[in-house]
Chains A and B, each alone.
Chain A
Amino acid sequence: MNKYFYKGTNRIIVLIILLFMFCNLKAQTDMDAIMMNKNQFCNGPMYNHASWDNYWEGKLKRDNQNLGTVTTQSIMYNVNYGITGKLNIMANAPYVWIKASAGTLHESRGVQDISVFVKWKPVTWVKGKNKIAVFLIGGISTPLTNYQIDYLPLTIGLGSTNLISRAMVDFRHNRFTVTASAAYILRSNVKIDRSAYFDTELHLTNEVKMPDAAQYQLRTGYRGKYLLAEALLTNWTTLGGFDITRNNSPLPSNRMNLTTVGTALKYTIKQFPHLSILGGANYAITGRNVGQATAFNAGLFYAFYFKSNTVKNFKN
């Protein structure tokens, strides 16, 4: 290796940095109050790890020595683009693998669902140091592969195509924020590999009626220039469905409810603000027909501008 090589490499890196304009990096998911600036593009991977020993069979909490610890891991690729500062579009898709530590059941793995969201911030009120913004988020998620869905709890997904409509209000006082949102998830029916199944009655079809669901989230914390730290309270409620009967296997149409507490952290590197590091954790405090999972995640976001546009100020 000679010094010219290093020189050249450094130049390329500098060029890349110049091309990818300075940008404001915040979590940018469908559930937070962060918007990307116009023409700003952000992308990166996120790793998620969730595991549980106990689950709720209906409302009854139990363990299962024939499953041991069930661990789901995924790597999700996210993209996010600012059409305008008030209208963002984002998408993600994970590769998921899941296994049980005990018993004899085979693991599952594969590419799961793609999700696409449009996030709109139509209204913002500012008064002094207080700011209130309203968001509307619409999205769709659908399986990217024909993965097996009737193999709970070791399936990688539930297989339905979902339409998600979310309303969100964000209040901010200086760096302190409170964000509340509610979503309605319209879920399509799913087709399983069996030609009949029993939920509360026998169905002579492979089609399973999926109840819709609602999701609520309250998040609060600090939203600084480089650091974002929030506490989360999240609830998923299935609007219908039925309970797993004693010692039975689950079905995708079970009444799956889950309330978790957690935290979301994000740090944008001061010296290299294209790059953000994300991390978070969640713990299930109550549920129904789901595992009591402890989850954590970690990810990277890299941001740049598609078009060479005005350099935005680093503002929140």
Chain B
Amino acid sequence: MRAIHLFSAVLISIGIISCSKEIVGRTDNTPALAPVNIDLNAGIWKTILLKRPDTFAVNSPAPVGSPAYIAEINEIKGLQQNISSQQKTNIQYWSAGSVLRWNEIMRELVAKYNLPPYQNDDGTYPFPSAANPFAYPQFPFSNPPYAARAYAYISAAQYDALVATWYYKKMYNRPAPYSVDSTLKILVPKTSLPSYPSEDAVVAGVTAEMMKLLFPTEIAFIQQKLEEEEKYRILSGANVRSDITAGEALGRQVASVFVARARADHAGAAIGTPQVWSNFVSTTSARGEVPWISLEEPKRPPMLPLFGNVLPFLFDSSTIAALRPGPPPSTSSDDFHKENEATYAQIKNPTRDQNRIVQYWADGIGTYTPPGHWNAIAAEDFIKQNYSEVRWARNMALLNMSLMDAGIVCWNTKYYYFNPRPTQMISQIKTLTGIPNFPSYISGHSTFSESAATILSHIIPARTAAYEAMSHEAALSRFISGIHTKLDCDKGLEVGKNVGNYAVQRALIDGAE
């Protein structure tokens, strides 16, 4: 009898635990975007690369009463006859916002490709090749600098494309289909924003085109997402097909300007050569300093050592050296030794909370990287702000240009000093997460984080204290994990702040405030 009772207890517990294991992401159920301000005049906002908002012509649309337009309305009506549950899911997903969803897709791809290549049999390492992207290791290895640059190009291109879109929207002033034909079902929030060209199709088009360069093995996946989004716009009654066609074409054209810049921004050479790698060692030794060495086995060439020469978005290349901080203490000095000892003290008896902070901010391999983490933080705050798509894009562009330029200055500093990691100096320092394969001074996490916190605090002043607390915790996480000295982190925060201020300066004059 007792046995039966015990077994019923077990069976009941099984019932409780097995209820639902489905997990829900924080943005899965984001409501449809209904901007508080449609930013009708965004067509005059300052663009990043486009010389003018009408650099690329968009033909005037067919009048709403024309047979061509009526046919497009009929297409919507036909589609609305039978809306499948999959289509409803698509509407729910995409209506949260085009910039938001493409930002998430981009973060997903960064996480997927953020994997260091496995070594060759002889102990050397293969490198991904843009010319042969499907061969192992697949192109790209979306490590933090690569990711920062990818986020920046895509966000900046989306922004310019949407400024152009808003320019034409206001100019042609074509009403949304549901305003023309009141019998249409409306499956998205109504807006007074003109519908031609479709902002969703513009974002999809510009992003898909950029992705060909940045994630060439995912072109088919991206194309599928683009088609899903465009279909949702028509099905939901938000756009007619000609809004979509014109939008996608405009987006792809704007992308060409950014692709041309990306091909010439020196990122392609950032990987260096064996000669470049050994030069860092010899010049550092010649200064009487201990040069950085890889702590991986086999020794891996340093990550993107010439990324510090990449063309920034917010300032010209000559400013990079001006933003670079002074040197760390000499590797033979007592001060340097004390810094490393202080790091060693951190990891001797790590607490559970210390591990939590380290893991929360680690953003290491297989993740969307620290810049991606700040995109996630920003996106989840932007959702609450109900921005128009063009303002979403503008804020994301400011954030990501700040992160990319922070990456450039940080990488420039890292390879200028070629400073060893604490573990290289004191081999007993075991780290609470993986040690990145590049020099120590200054901390990348700290630089990225404070550049992001600075521009985000300008965008949402009410969150300033929260952003600063996050940025400082991110910096701290690298010290208490044994990855960095305190000095590396403090200097990173300083540089990040300076870079972030360039984004703030731009925000003040771009016409959006």
Q: Are B359 and A192 in contact (CB under 8 A)?
A: yes
Task: Return the chain B residue nearest A110 by Cβ.
Answer: B352
Contacts of B17 in A (CB 8 A): 161, 163, 186, 188
A56 to chain B, nearest CB (A): 15
Q: Is B2 part of the binding interface, using a Cβ–Cβ cutoff of 8 Å?
A: yes
Minimum C-beta distance from A86 to chain B (A): 7
User: Bound complex: CA of A138 vs CA of B365, how far in Å?
Assistant: 39
Stretch of B21-29, B163-171, B205-213 on the interface side: B21-29
Measured CA separation A207–B482 after assembly (Å): 27
Known: A195-B376, A248-B115. A202 touches B3 (CB 8 A): no
B10 contacts A118, C-beta separation under 8 Å: yes
Known contacts A138-B7, A148-B355, A193-B359; A65/B136 CB under 8 A: no
Query: Is B347 in the interface zone, CB < 8 Å from A?
Result: yes
A252 to chain B, nearest CB (A): 13
**Residue on A nearest B16 in the bound complex, by CB:** A163
Interface members, chain A 7-27 (any B CB < 8 Å):
none
Q: Which residue of A lies closest to B379 (CB)?
A: A204
Determine the chain B residues whose CB is within 8 A of the CB of A204 once the complex forms: 25-28, 104, 376
Known contacts A65-B298, A189-B21, A246-B118; is A140 also within 8 Å of B13 by CB? yes
Cross-chain contact of B297 among A102, A163, A192, A209 (Cβ < 8 A)? A102
A249 interface hit (Cβ, 8 Å): yes
In Å, the complex CA distance between A165 and B431 comes to: 39
Residue of B with least CB distance to A87: B3
Q: Report the minimal beta-carbon distance from B352 to chain A, rounded to whole angstroms.
A: 6
Contact A150 B359 (CB under 8 A): yes
Within 8 A of A (CB), among B121-180: 136-137
Q: A193-B360, A245-B115 are in contact. Are A122 and B3 (CB under 8 A)?
A: yes
Stretch of B59-67, B68-76, B105-113, B494-502 on the interface side:
B105-113
| Residues on B with beta carbons closer than 8 Å to the beta carbon of A161 | 17
Known: A106-B350, A202-B108, A205-B24. A193 touches B367 (CB 8 A): no
B222 within 8 Å of A (CB atoms): no
Q: Complex Cα distance A120/B8, Å?
A: 13
CB-defined contacts of A144 to chain B, threshold 8 Å: none
Residues in A whose Cβ lies below 8 Å from that of B367? 194, 196-198
Q: How far is the CA of A196 from the CA of B103 in the complex (A)?
A: 14
Known: A103-B297, A248-B366. Is A120-B115 also a contact (CB below 8 A)?
A: no
Q: Which residue of A lies closest to B295 (CB)?
A: A104
Contact A165 B10 (CB under 8 A): yes
**Minimum CB–CB distance for A238 against chain B, Å:** 14
Contact A210 B376 (CB under 8 A): no
Instruction: State how many angstroms separate the Cβ of A206 from the closest Cβ of chain B.
Output: 9
User: Whole-angstrom distance from the CB of B416 to the nearest CB of chain A?
Assistant: 24
Contact B14 A198 (CB under 8 A): no
> What secondary structure prevails in chain A residues at the interface with B?
loop
Q: How far is the CA of A148 from the CA of B14 in the complex (A)?
A: 25
- B429 at the A/B interface (Cβ < 8 Å)? yes
Partner of A104, one of B24, B365, B376, B430: B430
Pick from B136, B137, B352 the residue with the most CB of A within 10 Å. Answer: B352
A194 touches B362 (CB 8 A): yes
Q: How far is the CA of A186 from the CA of B14 in the complex (A)?
A: 7
- Cβ-defined contact, B431 with A86, below 8 A: no
- CA–CA, A163 to B11, complex, Å? 9
Judge whether A247 and B117 touch: CB under 8 Å: yes
A139 to B9, CA, bound (A): 10
Interface residues in B357-415 by Cβ distance below 8 A to A read 359-360, 362, 364-368, 373, 376
- In the complex, whether B88 has a CB less than 8 A from a CB of chain A is no
Q: Are A107 and B115 in contact (CB under 8 A)?
A: no
**A296 beta carbon closer than 8 Å to chain B:** no
**Docked pose: A165 CA to B17 CA in angstroms:** 13
Residue in B26, B116, B137, B347 whose Cβ sees the most chain A Cβ within 10 Å = B26
Residue of B nearest to A108 (CB): B355
* Interface status of B86 (Cβ within 8 A of chain A): no
Query: Which of B3, B24, B111, B118: most chain A Cβ within 10 A?
Result: B3
The answer to whether A249 touches B108 (Cβ under 8 A) is: no
Interface string of A172-209 (1 = CB under 8 A from B): 00000000000000101100111111100111110111
A209: contacting residue among B21, B118, B136, B429, CB under 8 A: B21
List of A residues within 8 angstroms of B433 by Cβ: 105, 151
Within the assembled complex, what's the spacing in Å between the Cα atoms of A205 and B350?
A: 25
Q: Is A66 an interface residue (CB 8 A)?
A: yes
Flag whether A2 is at the interface (Cβ < 8 A): no
Please state if A120 and B3 are interface contacts (CB–CB under 8 Å): yes
A246 contacts B115, CB within 8 Å? yes
Q: Enumerate chain A residues within 8 angstroms of B244, measured Cβ to Cβ.
A: none
Instruction: Answer whether residue B506 sits at the interface, using C-beta atoms and an 8 A cutoff.
Output: no
User: Which residues 465-490 in B have Cβ within 8 Å of A in the complex?
Assistant: 482
Given A87-B2, A106-B432, A148-B359, A249 and B366 touching (CB < 8 A)? yes
Q: Are A247 and B115 in contact (CB under 8 A)?
A: yes
Contacts A196-B368, A245-B115; is A146 near B360 (CB within 8 Å)? no
**Bound: A197/B360 CA distance, A:** 11
State which of A83, A86, A194, A210 has its C-beta within 8 Å of the C-beta of B359.
A194
CB contacts under 8 Å to A, within B9-46, are 10, 13-14, 17-18, 21-28
Taking the complex as formed, is B190 at the interface, i.e. its CB lies under 8 A from any CB of chain A?
A: no
Task: Pick the residue among B2, B7, B10, B355 that contacts A193 (CB under 8 A).
Answer: B355
Q: Is A75 an interface residue (CB 8 A)?
A: no
| Chain A positions within 8 Å of B352 at CB level | 146-148
Chain B minimum-CB-distance residue to A148:
B355
Q: Type the 1/0 row for B426-439, where 1 means its CB is closer than 8 Å to any CB of A.
A: 00011111110000
Looking at B295, B350, B366, the one whose CB has the most chain A CB atoms below 10 A away is B366
Quick check: is B462 within 8 A (CB to CB) of the other chain?
Answer: no
- Please report the C-alpha to C-alpha distance between residue A294 and residue B366 in the assembled complex, in whole angstroms: 29
Q: Which of A77-112 contact B (CB under 8 A)?
A: 83-84, 86-87, 102-107
B23/A106 in contact, CB under 8 A? no
B432: which A residues are within 8 A, CB to CB? Answer: 106
- Structural contact, A247 and B355, CB atoms closer than 8 A: no
The interface residues of chain B lying within 8 Å CB-to-CB of A246 are 115, 118, 136-137
Q: How many whole Å from A119's CB to the nearest CB in chain B? A: 10
Interface string of B295-327 (1 = CB under 8 A from A): 111100000000000000000000000000000
Contact in complex: B3, A66 (CB < 8 Å): no
- Asked whether, in the complex, the Cβ of A201 is within 8 Å of the Cβ of B360, the reply is no
Instruction: Please tell me if B509 contacts chain A, counting CB pairs below 8 Å.
Output: no
A20–B430 alpha-carbon span in the complex (Å): 48
Listed residue (A103, A105, A204, A246) with the most chain B CB atoms within 10 angstroms of its CB:
A204
- In Å, the complex CA distance between A290 and B365 comes to 19
- The complex places the Cα of A188 from the Cα of B26 at a distance, in Å, of 20
Nearest CB in chain A to that of B429: its residue: A104
Q: In the assembly, what is the distance between CA of A165 and CA of B7, in Å?
A: 10
**Bound complex: CA of A165 vs CA of B364, how far in Å?**
38
A201's nearest neighbour on chain B, judged by CB, is B108
A197 to B110 Cα, complex, angstroms:
11
Tell me if A298 counts as interface (CB < 8 A to partner B).
no
Sampled A-B contacts (10; CB under 8 Å): A105-B430, A107-B430, A148-B359, A163-B10, A188-B17, A194-B367, A198-B367, A202-B368, A205-B23, A247-B116
Given A104-B430, A202-B368, A248-B366, 11 further pairs, Cβ under 8 A: A65-B297, A87-B6, A103-B297, A105-B430, A105-B434, A106-B432, A138-B7, A194-B360, A203-B23, A205-B24, A209-B21
CB-based closest 7 A-B pairs: A138-B10, A193-B359, A65-B297, A202-B108, A198-B111, A106-B430, A204-B25
